[in-house]
Amino acid sequence: MHAEIITIGDELLIGQVIDTNSAWIGEQLNLIGIKVKQITSISDDRLAILNTIEEAQQRADIILITGGLGPTKDDITKTTLCEYFKCAYRFDERVHQHLIKIFERFGRTLSDLNKKQAELPELCKTLFNANGTAPGMWFEKNGKVLVSMPGVPYEMKGIMMDEVIPKLQAHFNTQAIFHKTILTMGIGESYLSEIIAEWEDALPINIKLAYLPSPGYVRLRLSGFGNDFLELKSKVLSEVEKLKLLISNYIYGYDNETLPQLIHQELISRKKSISTAESCTGGSIAVHLIALSGSSSFFKGSIVAYSNEVKQKELGLKSETLESFGAVSQETVSEMIKGALKKFETDYAISVSGIAGPEGGTSEKPVGTVWIGVGDKQGNEIIKQYKIGNNRERNIQIAALYGLNLALKFIRGEFNLKS
């Protein structure tokens, strides 16, 4: 079973809006055993829409279209679909009443222009849009299904989950599929593949492995395909257990878990607190830590000590340490940990100091050299040096992730420490 996604909108082609809809739709379809064969972005142009739909009909069983369903003249998807399916309009009273309620909520009267949103091609089934004014449309022709939805992500997702996914599952006999994603950090994709090569070669024929590298980490996605979902899930999870024996030191989580979420859970369950002292990351670690609601129960504060003066004044860094070892050093990071623990009176502290670039590097400490440390109020510390790269933005991003990963392992007690 194959699907094609068509996104409509000039704003997508000129880079004014980034197409996040396709990635999300593809993920949801994959979960119900439908594979995306192609994704196409086109302009708000009648011929482009007609030609693209006709071509997609030759490649896919399901065509999902987003965009161009607004009430203004530049939104032509609905009229073009009427032309393609050679049908007239019908008036949907349920959509009409929904529109009236939306406008009444804002103290306004439904205009004639917006009332036209209730006019739909007579050959389509209405896909109710609980989150907006433009309903979706479901067409069937020659055994194929074509779905048209608004381009607004919030509205599209609601229609997909409430209407489209259940209808697709009922309409097509889809294959069972189960995914499990293993999140790793601290090892590159090529080194990782060498370690797990023998295990990968021995995977059952209906279980596939995909490497999904990102700056700072690598996701390993196991995908199983079959007819019995529970049996499939059991086989995939059994392979995950085998994989854990090979790379447990590099695994930090699974599926959609994030480092901030995992740290959040660990600190809440232990009733512990944390703070940060950051130089080259400029507060990026703190931003990650406060991303989730409820972070105030464990995150106490951060010092962005970008200059040596601030390091000394706010964190108590000794001038002798800076003179002897420099700002980018194990010794400086150690004192930054102690300074944050004292200032915020937390159980744990993360500190980082490095050379983000593109200037400031030396032969001894090239751009991308970063020292990251984590410590607790009992005097335990773990401090590591990393050599990341030459790109400033990437260095900051990766250093923040490495700091979070180091903190997670420290909090979990994965290091053999002595006070």
**Can you give 206-245 as a three-state secondary structure string?**
CEEEEEEEECCEEEEEEEEEECCHHHHHHHHHHHHHHHHH
Please, what is the average pLDDT of the chain? 95
Whether the per-residue pLDDT at 404 is higher than 60: the answer is yes
Q: Quick one: what percent of the chain has pLDDT higher than 70?
A: 100
Whether the per-residue pLDDT at 418 is higher than 90: the answer is no
Length of the chain: 419
Q: Rounded to the nearest 10 degrees, how much is the dihedral formed by the CA atoms of 165, 166, 167, 172?
A: 80
Please report, in angstroms and rounded to a whole number, the separation of the first and last CA atoms in the chain: 59
Structural contact between residues 267 and 340, judged by C-beta atoms closer than 8 angstroms: no
* Section 319-325 average pLDDT: 97
* Section 12-36 average pLDDT: 92
C-alpha span between 347 and 374 (Å, rounded): 11
**Which numeric CATH code is attached to 259-412?**
3.90.950.20
> Which CATH fold topology does 176-254 show?
Alpha-Beta Plaits (3.30.70)
pLDDT tens-digit series, residues 352-365: 999 999 999 999 99
Whether the per-residue pLDDT at 134 is higher than 60: the answer is yes
Instruction: Give the start-to-end residue ranges of the domains of the chain.
Output: 2-171, 176-254, 259-412
Q: Is 256 strand, coil or helix?
A: coil
Q: What is this structure's pTM? A: 0.77
Looking at the DSSP assignment, which residues form a beta bridge with residue 177?
225
C-alpha span between 77 and 70 (Å, rounded): 9
How, if at all, do strands 2-8 and 62-66 pair?
Answer: parallel
Structural contact between residues 62 and 147, judged by C-beta atoms closer than 8 angstroms: yes
Predicted local distance difference test score (pLDDT) of residue 419: 45
Nearest to 32 by CA among 153, 161, 119: 161
- Residues 2-171: name the CATH superfamily: MoaB/Mog-like domain (3.40.980.10)
C-alpha span between 332 and 329 (Å, rounded): 5
Share of the chain residues as helix, strand and coil, in percent rounded to the nearest 5: 45, 25, 30
Whether the per-residue pLDDT at 343 is higher than 90: the answer is yes
Whether the per-residue pLDDT at 175 is higher than 80: the answer is no
pLDDT tens-digit series, residues 210-257: 999 999 999 999 999 888 889 999 999 999 999 999 999 999 999 999
pLDDT tens-digit series, residues 57-89: 999 999 999 999 988 888 899 999 999 999 999
User: 23 Cβ partners below 8 Å, 6+ apart?
Assistant: none
Edge-to-edge order in the sheet of strand 35-42: 35-42, 2-8, 62-66, 144-149, 136-141, 125-127
Strand runs (DSSP E) across 33-128, as ranges?
35-42, 62-66, 89-91, 119-121, 125-127
Structural contact between residues 30 and 165, judged by C-beta atoms closer than 8 angstroms: no
